[in-house]
Amino acid sequence: MVAAALLFWGRQEPAELERLIKSLGSDSVEERDRAAFRLVEWGVKAFPALRKAAAHADQEVKARVNSIIAQCERIAAERERQEQEVKHDADEKARLLSNFRTESDLQKEKRTSSFFSGAARFDCSVLPFKNDLVLLTSPLNYMYIEGKWEEIPFEVVSVTDREGRSLTLDRCGICSPKRILVKDTQGPLRVHVKGTHTWYSRYSVEFQDPRDGDKKNVGDFVIQVDWPTLRVFAKKSWPKEVTAQMGTLFTYSFTENGRQCSNPPVSSILGRVQGGPLARPFSPEGW
């Protein structure tokens, strides 16, 4: 199998590379562009043929070959950086979990009222209210960063009974999602939770000979050069812990959906109750 693969490489692929490099000297702009695009797609696999062609007698072909080599090197370096970023994130996450997820936590996760997801534990309990149940959900963030526990934004997507039937939920803007009334049931319950876990992983990002429009992906962010400004695009709202530090480092402004924001958008949950789900007693008249 290996021999066959090497044979295929030796007889077929260099022939295409030779044809593409020859097309770089074509009188047709479209043909030259197509050839250059295809050679960039080949990437590092085309380096031997490209480096040989870098000594081409035609100076225009030589210049195009050198430009393609530079593009391929940039793409390869960026791919390697992103792979290192993924590995760094995985290693950092494993280190933090190892430091702060204790044996006691592992035992608690085995209870039917608790579950572990990603890097957080969710503890659930219920309190009876008339013919219904009040579901209490409390998250614990294992990703302990810079001396404090960060709260995890989450939502209870659905609650089902033992037969898998979806139950009616009554939410409120003050107590939910930590407290939700589950109607017409006495349990047991199966809870489906969805949320966002934000934590910090530091990187050094460098633009060499930057040009307007140059971009780099870092996690969920895209950094774009618009000299003298660096524009950072995020898939989600900026965590308030980030915006609190930015003003001391550099000048910034926010736009959301194309509109300037007077106040930076932050990730938050309406009506968070300080002190946890048992901070207030239940009123006899309201859940």
Question: For position 270, what pLDDT does the model report?
Answer: 30
140-182 per-position pLDDT tens digit: 888 866 556 667 888 999 999 988 899 999 998 888 899 999 9
Higher-scoring residue by pLDDT: 19, 235? 19
Question: For position 130, what pLDDT does the model report?
Answer: 87
* β-pair partners for 135: 126, 180
Query: Do 149 and 120 lie in a common domain?
Result: yes
Confidence of residue 284 (pLDDT cuts 50, 70, 90): very low
Query: Do 140 and 158 lie in a common domain?
Result: yes
> Do residues 152 and 139 lie in contact, with contact meaning Cβ atoms separated by under 8 Å?
yes
Question: For position 287, what pLDDT does the model report?
Answer: 54
Tell me the average pLDDT across 109-135. Answer: 88
Q: Does a structural domain hold residue 246?
A: no
Query: Do 112 and 84 lie in a common domain?
Result: no
DSSP letter string over 136-182?
Answer: EEEEEE---BTTBPPP--EEEEEEE-TT-PBPPEE--TTTTTTEEEE
208-219 per-position pLDDT tens digit: 888 899 888 887
d(CA 244, CA 186): 45
Question: For position 248, what pLDDT does the model report?
Answer: 66
- Going through the chain in order, the beta strands assigned E by DSSP cover 114-117, 120-129, 132-141, 154-160, 169-170, 179-182, 190-195, 215-218, 221-226, 229-234, 254-256, 259-261
Question: For position 57, what pLDDT does the model report?
Answer: 79
Tell me the average pLDDT across 181-193. Answer: 90
Q: Does a structural domain hold residue 60?
A: yes
Question: For position 159, what pLDDT does the model report?
Answer: 94
Q: Supply 181's token pair.
A: 């009334």
* Whether pTM exceeds 0.85: no
Tell me the average pLDDT across 270-282. Answer: 36
Query: Do 175 and 112 lie in a common domain?
Result: yes
Q: Does a structural domain hold residue 272?
A: no
pLDDT at 282 over 70: no
Q: Does a structural domain hold residue 38?
A: yes
Q: Domain ends where: 72, 97, 122?
A: 97
Q: Domain ends where: 41, 66, 97?
A: 97
Q: Does a structural domain hold residue 163?
A: yes
Q: Does a structural domain hold residue 133?
A: yes
Tell me the average pLDDT across 277-283. Answer: 41
Q: Domain ends where: 77, 97, 117?
A: 97
Confidence of residue 183 (pLDDT cuts 50, 70, 90): very high
pLDDT at 5 over 70: no
Q: Does a structural domain hold residue 201?
A: no
Q: Which domain holds residue 121?
A: 103-195
Q: Considering its fold, how many domains does the chain have in total?
A: 2
Query: Do 75 and 154 lie in a common domain?
Result: no
Confidence of residue 269 (pLDDT cuts 50, 70, 90): very low
What mean pLDDT value characterizes the chain?
78
CB 252: neighbour CB atoms within 10 A?
Answer: 13
> Do residues 134 and 179 lie in contact, with contact meaning Cβ atoms separated by under 8 Å?
yes
Percent residues over pLDDT 70 in the chain: 76
Tell me the average pLDDT across 177-197. Answer: 89
Question: For position 149, what pLDDT does the model report?
Answer: 61
Query: Do 84 and 107 lie in a common domain?
Result: no
